[in-house]
Amino acid sequence: MSKIISGFSKFTKQEKIDWLTNNFFQNPKEVKKIIHQYWNDDKTLQKLHDDFIENTITNFYLPFGVAPNFIINDKYYTIPMVIEESSVVAAASLVAKFWSTRGGFKTEVLGTTKIGQVHFMFAGEKTNLENYFNTNKTELLAATASITKNMEKRGGGILDIVLVDKTDKLANYYQLHVTFETKDSMGANFINSCLEAIANQFKNDEIEIVMSILSNYVPECIVRAEVSCKIDELGGENPQRFAEKFYQAVQIAKVEPYRAVTHNKGIMNGIDAVVLATGNDFRAVEAGAHAYASRNGEYSSLSYCSIDNGVFKFWIEIPLALGTVGGLTALHPLAKLSLELLQKPTARELMQIIAAAGLAQNFAALRALTTKGIQHGHMKMHLQNILNQYNATKTEKKQIETYFKNVTVTHSAVVEKLNSIRKSTINWIDFLDEDLVREKLAQLDENSVPVFGKMNAQQMIEHLSAVTQIANGNWKVNAYVSDDKTARRKPFLDTRNELTQGFRPSFLSEEPNDFKFNSIDEAIEDLTYQVKYFVEKFQKDSDRAVVHPFFGELDFDYWKKFQVKHFTHHFKQFNLL
């Protein structure tokens, strides 16, 4: 099948998936399974998501978290955050709690003006152009009347139109620079519609319209967020020293572009996460913020710090063009939920909330950098990702978390420690490997002597078969295991510890049972059958759970864990491992 495709957009979703998986993947069946796993079971909701963009084949999930304890202008907030990077939500939460006892965040909107431009070329006399513009300015505004009517009712609309000469930068290049107030709407569609109406009205035989488009650079749509306290209230062993190092870190980001980019990226970790959660355009916010960071001719910090007269002050001023009505904010169920969580803010309020989140993230990063180092906290959070990547058990996780409490976390160090834990001297028997089990048991005869215990070889084999029958439902043992006992005993099955020699559950008699079969070979055949039946029973009913007389109710995975330990224990009893 060709990888060049025509009419792809007209394919059904399944046809798109079929073409894609057959052309670009070695295992189409597995890829389709993954794609389908991320579909929403609610068909109406899935259709809503499918319609957000073109050529949709599935959904791409990102974690949705919350950062509580934010106090912004004396009002409590729990802030929604959508981000894939570990430590961001935790850091924001910790900093929010830290400042909640020090007055919280103080925020202020300094401006909400947004920009759009009509770019055009004009080769004639500038004075003729100026006269034409001045004569027709009223008509330009009138051309947008039908578009601006509803916005003006909400207190927004076009603020001004200015003719700008850019011929010193590019020959014959001029623009109409239009300023807008869009209230609670981000306003992209509104602005672009107005600009196109203005351009159609303005063009003539001498004016060549190149394009009409809003700008994501909004240096007059600014919000300020600030935290402050007495230096002594910063806490720690030496708050004065901390404040001085923190101040120097901000100053370095102010004068060193290489540091400033990473410094501001940390700010955007907090900002983008809330922008995404509320259905706003994080790419527009990113572009505008970084352009603003370069407004003085060199890329610089978006945050500031002072330590005057015994007071520590840390603040940010950043452009944020946001909306709380229209667009994805009105369509995406989680975006609507986020805005409700934030107590249904206006666009101005949302600007302040998001600026506070960015400042919190920046404070967290700088505090870590100037004290323990950024990796100490970040890699502690990343530790769980590494452990999950290598399918660590609960017990392995606990051991590794304890080990790395006072040890620097690195990916290689975690893997090395995990491997060392897994390098066990125990040679666990795979009881589901029939050939292996038969090979081991074939070493036994009636003269085989146990290393420990009273059972002979055939009794041991029949014992393994009998206990397997408990899981199969063919041996009803009269035993009761309380929830409390189950909670204490069951975690043992997650460990790499062995059953101890001499251990005998109460449901077993003190003396070995009489033979059930005429020979060891017959006992082996029965054990093989019982293990196969064990697998079949659980495969037919994946939700099946059976009470173990000692460990309590176990599902298939936990029964397998028990069986591995049980078989290994008795194989060692006869020195088969």
Residues whose CB is less than 8 angstroms from the CB of residue 181 and which lie 6 or more positions away in sequence, other chains included: 112, 113, 114, 155, 156, 157, 159
Kindly name the residue from 85, 317, 494, 498 that is annotated as catalytic.
85
Q: Locate 395 and state its tokens.
A: 């017990």
Q: How many residues does the chain have?
A: 577
- 393 φ, ψ to 5°? -80, 170
Contacts of 557 (CB under 8 A, 6+ apart): none
Q: How many CA atoms lie within 13 A of 493 on its CB side?
A: 22
**Residue 321: exposed, middle, or buried by beta-carbon count in 10 A (0-12, 13-18, 19+)?**
buried
Beta pairing partners, 177: 117, 162
User: Which of the following is catalytic: 32, 114, 378, 565?
Assistant: 378
Quick one: which of 216, 360, 225 has its CA closest to 290?
216
Catalytic, out of 16, 97, 265, 332:
265
Cβ atoms of 35 and 28 closer than 8 Å: no
Q: How many angstroms from the chain centroid is the CA of residue 112?
A: 31
**Is 205 labeled as catalytic in the residue annotation?**
no
Is 541 a catalytic site residue?
Answer: no
Active-site residue among 281, 349, 396, 462?
281
Question: How would DSSP label each residue in 387-412?
Answer: HHHTT--HHHHHHHHHHTTSS---HH
Nearest residue to 109 (alpha-carbon basis) of 226, 267, 227, 272 = 226
**Which residues on adjacent β-strands are paired with residue 463?**
none
**CA-based nearest residue to 198, from 133, 262, 251:** 133
Active site residue 265: yes
Amino acid identity, position 494: D
Q: Provide the annotated active-site residues.
A: 85, 265, 281, 378
